[in-house]
Amino acid sequence: MYRAAAPRLASAVRGAHAHARAVPTTRRLYATKGAAPPPPPKLSFTERLRNKLWRPGAVPQPEEADQQLAAAAAPPAARKPSDIPGYVEALDARDLPVVGLDPALEEWDVPVYVSPSLPCPVPPPPNFNCSLSLSLPVCVYVCVCAHADYYHHSFITNTKFTSPSALVRAVHRAVIEVHTPLLNGLPASAFSSRYTGPEQLTPRVRITVSSSGGGDAVFDFRSPEVEQDILATLEGGAEGAEVRAYSEEEVYPAEQQQGEEEEQAEWVVEGLERRGWAALGVKEEVRFALVKRVAQLTGVRVLDAEAGAVKTVAELLEHLETKPKPKKLFEIIAQTPLPDLPNVKVYETRLRPWDKERMIGRERPFEKVVEFKYPFEARDRK
């Protein structure tokens, strides 16, 4: 047994020596991984955000950023007229105009809306609390004030009329004054009177609108003198009358309204009820002149969109009257198209279950059979 194992052991030892001699003796180099660089310093969120806004290395310091913001917020320095290239003084040392200069540009007042800084050269209108300023661009004075709307719509002089009767009288007067030049072969733009005070001519004119629906009307001036007086008033204004703002009481005093004739009061009632002369159609050739004259007399300005959609004088009267704002939900819904729908019914009060029982006629039989009393009815009947 031991003899058989000996040759195998010897051959195994010889094989190990043979493999050991086969290993090369040349030198080999092995690259090893060097040490990792130190991690970058941890930046705060603010610093990371600043690096995103500006490139790294060009981030301004907080002091520099504050200086930039302060410089941007500071208003630019006012430029002196003498710094403008080619500027020449218009007056010499003796305050005399320099000979040979080109005429100066015209100066005009333009009402705009800007924050006030300097006094405005335009005098404020009466009963206005003005906050005024003056801005000076190149050779143009711009008047900036709280009453700019007053000067922009200077043709509106009268205070706002609120009485329905006064509005009807003013519209009746405007209709006659605008149509009188048209009936005499003049364009509607020929109307140029700015007088808005009391007058006694237009109440004497009667307007009859045909019932055919074509919009035809007959203006009865009662006498040629009335028509001639109206034309003279339109051309030159009321003689000896002052063009100023009038109040509703000044134009239509209460004692005059009470002492009117019955015939005169009839056309006022027609205007209040939106019939008669109020059914007169508004043609395109007189639309602008009529709306402008109504604004002059009443002090109420109709929007352009509403004025363009007006077809009759009655519709114009509807836009002039200031209706009170509805307070109840029922009143608000009643002004919408919802109540006109076939499957919609609007109730003024809350609809309760017992109200539905009464509507279908089931209240009495229900009470008799079941002997049931609604809680509020039982309390009321005690």
Arithmetic mean of pLDDT, 196-213: 79
In this predicted structure, which of 81-85, 308-312, 323-327 has the lowest mean pLDDT? 81-85
Report percent pLDDT > 90 for the chain: 0
Residue 369: pLDDT band with limits 50, 70, 90: low
* pLDDT for 196: 79
Pair 176, 271: CB distance under 8 Å:
no
Q: How far apart are CA 146 and CA 111, in angstroms?
A: 9
Q: Looking at the predicted structure, is the pLDDT value of residue 14 above 70?
A: no
* pLDDT for 227: 84
Q: Looking at the predicted structure, is the pLDDT value of residue 24 above 60?
A: no
DSSP reduced 3-state for 196: coil
DSSP 135-176: E--TT--EEE-TTHHHHHTTT--SPPP--HHHHHHHHHHHHH
Closest CA to 178 of 167, 194, 189, 165: 189
* pLDDT for 105: 58
pLDDT digits (tens, 9 = 90+) for 126-159: 544 444 443 433 333 344 444 444 444 456 766 7
Q: What angle do CA 243, 245, 246 make, to 5 degrees?
A: 105
**Cβ within 8 Å of residue 4, ≥6 positions away:** none
* pLDDT for 254: 60
Q: How far apart are CA 146 and CA 132, in angstroms?
A: 7
DSSP 66-116: HHHHHHHHSPPPPPPGGGSTT---SB-TTS-BPTTPPPPPP-----B----
pLDDT digits (tens, 9 = 90+) for 47-67: 888 788 777 766 666 666 666
Please report, for the chain, the start and end positions of each structural domain, with discontinuous segments joined by +.
104-152, 164-320, 324-382
Closest CA to 120 of 129, 104, 109: 109
For the chain, state the CA radius of gyration: 47
pLDDT digits (tens, 9 = 90+) for 228-278: 888 887 655 555 455 677 777 777 776 454 444 444 578 888 888 888 888
Which is more confident, 125 or 95?
95
Q: How far apart are CA 54 and CA 43, in angstroms?
A: 15
Average pLDDT, the chain: 70
In this predicted structure, which of 36-40, 154-158, 367-371 has the lowest mean pLDDT? 367-371
- Alpha-carbon distances of 295 from 299, 363, 365, rounded to whole Å: 5, 58, 63
Q: Looking at the predicted structure, is the pLDDT value of residue 289 above 80?
A: yes
Which is more confident, 16 or 46?
46
Is the whole-model pTM more than 0.85?
no
